[in-house]
Structure 1
């Protein structure tokens, strides 16, 4: 069984200092200095205005003049993601990181090692933990979505459809056929 851990809007949440700041107001990750003027990840409130990652900044501001542009924090993202990967590896997982905020690993052997509770541990906030890291980092890591499936693709689809603390499992082609 492959498990996918998805921290949605990870780069934006790290740059904003936690997910709480992204709940009400439309926000987007500002372009990095010296790069083309495209917005990065956007909050759910910004998506309601039709703003999406990769949109030109002028068009995004025209659609939503009160859009908050959050300065990117590549070092903070790298540090937070390294901490999340270290937590997953401490379970004994051989983690494949696809991009910051998304990782997959094979949990077949780990299920026996942890008495079948690997997914439950992740849902109960294992990534956030109780270490010496700042509280804002714990808030970012606590919103993981967990998906399971026989292949990486199935696990990723399940994670994208899951809710926080509610893992989703896709068993194969029969479950995928019912999805759009």
Structure 2
């Protein structure tokens, strides 16, 4: 008999906004958003649950956000701070499992196979991890547990914030059955519309749908959707071993097509990635842009840097060029950037030209100011600029 896997998915609740509230307790209970700029060009990248109640979320323009919530408190992002706190959380998770797969700055999977005697049931482990993260960082997390990564992820979102949902082995299909098909990663609005035409609204409907109907509408992918609707997913938790890449991505609450807004979000992500590279003493040789459209179709493009770097300037220019070639006015619900072909930075001076040397001097000074006076002591002007003179 095959022993069911024990997988937990951990999702930090409203991460960026929660960090700001933790660092400034006077914000507690208020509608808080983290975002760039003002007016129609400004964009929200995260919102507290109080702000979400007004319809404010990732990718909402600042203009719309203020119209929906006049009392909104808008705070410029501090990506260096979020990276530092994320590392604190991942260190906590590492104490519960030797196999932790960090999938974003605020999400991770844990493989708890063989830890029953140490941590007890998945529910016991989930409860313990929630308490450990809260104690170490002051932040709340939502935890989902199941025999697969797919169901664990869906379960983590079932009772946010500060939720704990465990789906026992063998009950995955029954647990998913009444839920809307949209909870399955990869089934976006367009696919949901097609499924509605087939009278398929829930995971239960999809799990029992005739294969020929699905093949006609979705091709070879059709039968695979049925497996997902039943919670069948054998993807392993992968800690990646030696670090091969370092990146960040952001899922947007509203699809966004505006090129300037996408560039602004991209710059914030690059700032976070470059800071992490410098913190880990790494240089990147390859930059990869990731986009996901309204149908959850992923698009990735990559380019080699002329010289390995850990600076935001050359990484952003490479990523922006990829964005300009790829986006072309389409709307996206996820944007991300990653760096790979990583190496140590012992010979940085050999790679730096005059322009990079100047940026390195400025960056080092900025990093020093952030460490001494706080992460918001200095911010790129573009991330603060207002649209009205």
Mapping of 1:35-54 within 5 angstroms? 37-54=42-59
The residue aligned with 1:76 is 81
Greater shift in the superposed pair: 168-177 or 105-114: 105-114
Mapping of 1:5-44 within 5 angstroms? 5-17=10-22, 23-31=28-36, 37-44=42-49
Greater shift in the superposed pair: 110-119 or 42-51: 110-119
The residue aligned with 2:150 is 153
Distance in 1 between the 2:125 and 2:54 partners?
A: 38
Structure 1 segments unaligned to the other structure (5+ residues): 131-137
1:122 to 117, 120, 129: 129
Q: 1:55 to 1:19 in 2, by over 3 A?
A: same
Bigger Rg, which one? 2
Q: Contact between 1:147 and 1:156, CA under 8 Å: does it hold in 2?
A: yes
2:106 to 97, 101, 107: 101
Question: Where does structure 1 differ by over 6 angstroms across 4 or more consecutive aligned residues?
Answer: none
Q: 1:28 to 1:108 in 2, by over 3 A?
A: same
Distance in 1 between the 2:178 and 2:47 partners?
A: 28
Q: Contact between 1:23 and 1:45, CA under 8 Å: does it hold in 2?
A: no
1:174 partnered with 2:174:
yes
Q: TM-score, normalised by structure 2?
A: 0.40
Structure 2 segments unaligned to the other structure (5+ residues): 1-5, 181-389
Q: TM-score, normalised by structure 1?
A: 0.81
The residue aligned with 2:339 is none
Distance in 2 between the 1:49 and 1:173 partners?
A: 34
Q: 1:58 to 1:164 in 2, by over 3 A?
A: closer
Distance in 2 between the 1:92 and 1:23 partners?
A: 32
Report the structure, 1 or 2, having the larger helix content: 2
Greater shift in the superposed pair: 90-99 or 17-26: 17-26
2:36 counterpart SS class: coil
Report the structure, 1 or 2, having the larger strand content: 2
Q: Deviations over 1:69-125 (max 9, x none)?
A: 0221111111111011111112233111121221111111222333444223214x1
* Larger RCO: 1 or 2 (CA < 8 Å, sep 6+): 1
The residue aligned with 1:62 is 67
How far is 1:54 from its partner? 0.4
2:71 counterpart SS class: coil
The residue aligned with 2:189 is none
